[in-house]
Amino acid sequence: MQSMAATLPLTALRTAFGERLREQHPLARYTSARLGGAADALVLARSADELATSAQALWDLELPFIVLGGGSNVLVSDAGVRQVVLLNQANQVVFDDQGVWAESGAGLGVIARQAAAKGLGGLAWAAGIPGSLGGAVTGNAGAHGSDTAAVLELADILHCTQGRQTWTAEQMAYGYRTSWFKAHPGQAVVLAARLRLNPMPEAEIRSAMESFNAYRRLTQPPGASMGSMFKNPPGDSAGRLIEAAGLKGLQQGQAQISPLHANFFLNRGGARAEDVYALIQQARQAVKDQSGVELQLEVELIGDWE
């Protein structure tokens, strides 16, 4: 496939981003599944302000872009990404006695563990979730009966036409693993967020975290993956449906539907994104044939899938 790199205005990108621009930059290392091709252009953002000015510069250049946080909820195509990738490395975190404010590239699990050490409860559920705060805020990440919507107080947003704004959880239009952002791709960026926490004995928080982590170790496979591939349909679980369709353990190249949890698709080392995609198609079809349920992807397909 011919690269569209030539169609990106590289001179303008070099002028706008200088040493923060990487050309033909491999993306696999920025993803939890450790696979996928290169970005024609990748821009590093090391602070919320840099993230904001970079996003604004790309909108001004009328160049569509993708924000990449921890890369733990995306499947990057082997053919790579023709859009600009804005890599969010803004990770400042500031606690007070009622919560935490953090830049959106900060790790959610890191924030959760720091909160525990400070005797601030409310985030024990998040300790085992990889990825950035921005990814959690846009995808309403959640586990163990709680989610981001339950703790988000305010989010600092940059909107493509309305500029910098502060949004409440209500304005985020949260649902199960979804938000306003999922319905309006490319229209706004989460710069930072404030989470509401409450003082609690550290030992109590750590004990909750340990039992959540023990449950995770028992029910979810280790290794390179994207977490849950499909959303759970109402009243059921995607893993149960894929298992019932007989696909647990199915392998394609070096990609495999986990023998432990059928909603986890693993890169067993050297897998290609197209192998994972083939498993996605097989799982969808088999579940539809077996149960009549149309599984919806939780993971986002990024890049060139032609």
Ligand X SMILES: Cc1cc2nc3c(=O)[nH]c(=O)nc-3n(C[C@H](O)[C@H](O)[C@H](O)COP(=O)(O)OP(=O)(O)OC[C@H]3O[C@@H](n4cnc5c(N)ncnc54)[C@H](O)[C@@H]3O)c2cc1C
Active site residues: 177, 228, 298
The separation between CA 285 and the C-alpha centre of its own chain, rounded to angstroms, equals 25
- Residue 214 Cα distances to 39, 109, 143, 152, 209, angstroms: 37, 15, 13, 26, 8
Residue type present at position 22: R
Residue 53 Cβ vs ligand X, minimum distance, rounded to whole Å: 14
135 CB neighbour count, 10 Å cutoff: 26
What minimum distance in Å lies between the beta carbon of 147 and ligand X? 7
| Helix residue ranges per DSSP H, the chain | 10-17, 48-60, 108-117, 133-139, 148-151, 180-183, 202-219, 238-244, 273-291
Taking the C-alpha atoms of residue 57 and residue 17, their distance in angstroms, rounded to an integer, is 9
Report, in Å, the least distance between residue 97 CB and ligand X. Answer: 26
Cα–Cα distances (Å) from 67 to 1, 42, 275, in that order, read 24, 10, 24
Give dist(CA 280, CA 186) in Å, integer: 25
For residue 211, the minimal CB distance to ligand X (Å) is 14
Q: Rule CB under 6 A: which residues touch ligand X?
A: 32, 66-74, 88, 104, 129-132, 134-136, 138-139, 141-143, 181, 189-190, 225-227, 300
Residue (of 306, 272, 304) closest to 83 by Cα position: 304
Name the minimum Å distance from CB 157 to ligand X.
8
CA dist 213 and 210 (Å) reads 5
Q: Which is nearer to ligand X, 2 or 301 (CB)?
A: 301
CA proximity to 247, closest of 261, 227, 230, 232: 261
Angle, helices 10-17 vs 48-60, to 10°: value is 150
* Angle (deg, nearest 10), helices 202-219 and 108-117: 140
What are the backbone angles phi and psi of residue 299, rounded to the nearest 5°? -70, 145
To ligand X, the closest distance from the beta carbon of 236 in angstroms equals 17
Q: Using the minimum distance from each CB to ligand X, give the nearer residue, 80 or 130.
A: 130
Q: Residue number with the shortest CB distance to ligand X?
A: 135
- Shortest distance, position 171 Cβ to ligand X, whole Å: 14
Q: What is the CA radius of gyration of the chain?
A: 20
Q: Which two tokens stand for residue 92?
A: 């400042």
